[in-house]
Amino acid sequence: MISVAKRAPNRRLLALACLLALAACSGGGTSPRTTTPAGAPVETGTLSLTLGAPSASSARRVKFLSPSAQSVSITVTGIAAPVIADVSATSPVCSGSPGSRVCAIPLSAPVGTDTFTATLYDGPNATGNQLGTGSGVQQVTTAGFSVAIGVSGIAAMIQVMALQSIFMTGQPATTSVTVTAQDSDGNTITGAYAAPVTLTNSDTTGAFTLSTMTISSSSQSATLTYNGSAAITNATIGATSAGVPAGSVIPALLTVRQSAPIFSESAIPTANSGPYGITSGSDGAVWFTEFSAGQIGRISTTFAFSEYPIPTPASNPYGIAAGSDGNLWFTETHGMNIGRITTAGVITEYPIPTPNSNPNGITAGPDGALWFAESNTNKIGRISTAGAFTEYGAPGGNPVEITSGPDGALWFVEYAGNKIGRITTSGAETEYNVPTAGGLPQDIASGPDGNLWFTEAAGNKIGRITTGGVITEFPVPTANSVPQGIIAWTDGALWFTEGAGNKLGRITTTGVVTEYAVPSPNADPLFITIGPDGALWFTENRANHIGRAH
């Protein structure tokens, strides 16, 4: 927010209010006409510039203004030289923190209709890269005035993202396409872009169409429509914008696949290892637990295996998740430990405070810690990446799997209790009854629709629960299929395993289910994840395989 304060009691007041934001208050286009009478009196005042993340209490204040700004150049009609001011964190005219500061800048403006233009730089004295620019017009009178200026972010890098990137032939779909732009210093621009972003579509068949080709701000998106055509296998949604090199644009890659996924299976070196949990690691490989062998397994996307024995005998590792520290974290159901394994295979174990806890599922929480389900002691546990534990009671019964929800909370399934639980990072819990009696919820995952989706092993259903606790159930076509693991894939649907049905299932967010048989008979597919290659990877417990589908 910019305002102009009176310098002395006997001088006229310049009340200049300027909202410098990366949101459009005044657009581009034709420059407005300005009229400043020759010899008009000049008023002086103080221009206050808010940088970074201003208070949310002011609805008119900016959401973001590049905190990398070091200087500002302000031009005013009728003033020959621009005002160049230091707006760095150490500037004597600025106060507050480096990430959110207010700078009071002396400014003069003549009486008349003036144009005010502000340009931000990441170097001193209006040097370096331009981070944002904008202008506004205001009638200046002897009674004072106010003006609003919208400073639009100047993009140096653009990334195009499609919410759904994999499509199936014969299945028309729509999804949203968004643009993320960063300034020269890597700050994400929130609000208007100084130069509009023009989307590009490599598809010439008409299979993919966009609702608009122009994105003018971070709040705008385009709708991408796929007509189900098999005439194309891939397409690219790119972008151009004035001043942004082609090499600084990351496009969205779209893939069209045949309706049925392509399967491949790889045998685990250790016989009868009992593969269970599975996840992607920070090293670009897929990691899994070997329940029966007491090992942690690793498989590269080229199907090369490594196996690492767990120090505790008969530990029976169950769940595994990638931590915020770049390591893999796993539960030891009978070892009563939480284990950590580096991508080089070094294992550390942390004993859970509560005896006989039988930990099962584990997930990375929104707070950077790992959260896990203690199935035998009805608790939800938390372990920091430094190994510090906290435990919370789960009033229901037998929590087995857990995931991070879109609402910033953790959601878990209570297998014997037949409930879906929710726990905040501060430990406040809520439970919701599964409608089907004896449904035995097995696994849970966040969906692309902002809801949570879960499997019912005995109920033979896929459930959906909103963050408000409203549950809807969808039956699986194959009877007694025993749905197990579930994950949201990049095709905008949820994929799940059928242990007894020996299939992978796909359910759309509207509840339409399709099933695909796993090649190996009686493979008993259990848990499923998205690999670093974008494919689906899953454990085959009885066949002793790691499966891949794409």
What is the band of 89 on the pLDDT scale with cuts at 50, 70, 90? confident
Contacts of residue 457, defined as CB under 8 A and 6 or more positions apart, other chains included, come to 415, 439, 440, 441, 442, 482, 483, 484, 499
Write the pLDDT tens digit of every residue in 407-441.
999 999 999 999 999 999 999 999 999 999 999 99
DSSP-derived letter for residue 261 is P
Q: Is residue 2 over pLDDT 80?
A: no
Write the pLDDT tens digit of every residue in 516-527.
999 999 999 999
Q: Is residue 9 over pLDDT 90?
A: no
Quick check: 105 and 92 in contact, CB under 8 A?
Answer: no
pLDDT score recorded for residue 39: 58
Question: What does residue 543 show for φ and ψ, rounded to 5 degrees?
Answer: -75, -15
Share of the chain above pLDDT 70, in %: 85
Candidates 513, 546, 509, 516; CA nearest to 531 is 546
Question: What does residue 277 show for φ and ψ, rounded to 5 degrees?
Answer: -70, 160
Distance CA 523, CA 502 (A): 6
Q: Is residue 101 over pLDDT 80?
A: no
pLDDT score recorded for residue 215: 97
Q: Is residue 149 over pLDDT 80?
A: no
| Average pLDDT of the segment spanning 456-481 | 98
Write the pLDDT tens digit of every residue in 534-548.
999 999 999 999 999
Question: What does residue 319 show for φ and ψ, rounded to 5 degrees?
Answer: -90, 160
Instruction: Tell me which of 33-37, 123-127, 142-146, 396-400 is least confident.
Output: 33-37
Distance CA 264, CA 284 (A): 18
Q: What angle do CA 34, 40, 41 make, to 5 degrees?
A: 125
What is the band of 114 on the pLDDT scale with cuts at 50, 70, 90? confident
pLDDT score recorded for residue 96: 78
Distance CA 14, CA 138 (A): 12
Q: Which residues pair with 178 in a beta bridge?
A: 161, 221
Quick check: 529 and 538 in contact, CB under 8 A?
Answer: yes
Burial (CB count within 10 angstroms: exposed 0-12, middle 13-18, buried 19+), residue 443: buried
Q: Hey, is 247 helix, strand or coil?
A: helix
**Which domains, and CATH codes, for the chain?**
42-153 (no CATH), 157-257 (2.60.40.10), 263-549 (2.130.10.10)
Contacts of residue 461, defined as CB under 8 A and 6 or more positions apart, other chains included, come to 436, 439, 455, 473, 474, 475, 476, 483
Q: Which residues pair with 515 in a beta bridge?
A: 505
Q: Which residues pair with 484 in a beta bridge?
A: none
Burial 96-127 (b: 16+ CB within 10 A, else e): eeeeebbbbbebebbbbbbbbbbbbbbeeebe
E strands in 434-524: 441-446, 452-456, 461-465, 471-475, 483-488, 494-498, 503-507, 513-517
| Average pLDDT of the segment spanning 176-203 | 94
pLDDT score recorded for residue 144: 64
Task: Show the tokens assigned to 421.
Answer: 């639980």
What is the band of 57 on the pLDDT scale with cuts at 50, 70, 90? very low
Instruction: Give Cα 250 to chain centroid, integer Å.
Output: 16
What is the band of 394 on the pLDDT scale with cuts at 50, 70, 90? low
pLDDT score recorded for residue 112: 84
Q: Is residue 230 over pLDDT 60?
A: yes
Instruction: Tell me which of 140-144, 228-232, 370-374 is least confident.
Output: 140-144
Contacts of residue 39, defined as CB under 8 A and 6 or more positions apart, other chains included, come to none
pLDDT score recorded for residue 40: 63
Q: Is residue 24 over pLDDT 50?
A: no
> What is the residue-averaged pLDDT of the chain?
87
| Average pLDDT of the segment spanning 108-119 | 85
| Average pLDDT of the segment spanning 250-269 | 91
pLDDT score recorded for residue 48: 58
Distance CA 222, CA 491 (A): 18
pLDDT score recorded for residue 107: 77
This prediction has a pTM of: 0.68
Q: Hey, is 246 helix, strand or coil?
A: helix
Instruction: Tell me which of 135-144, 167-176, 268-277, 486-495 is least confident.
Output: 135-144
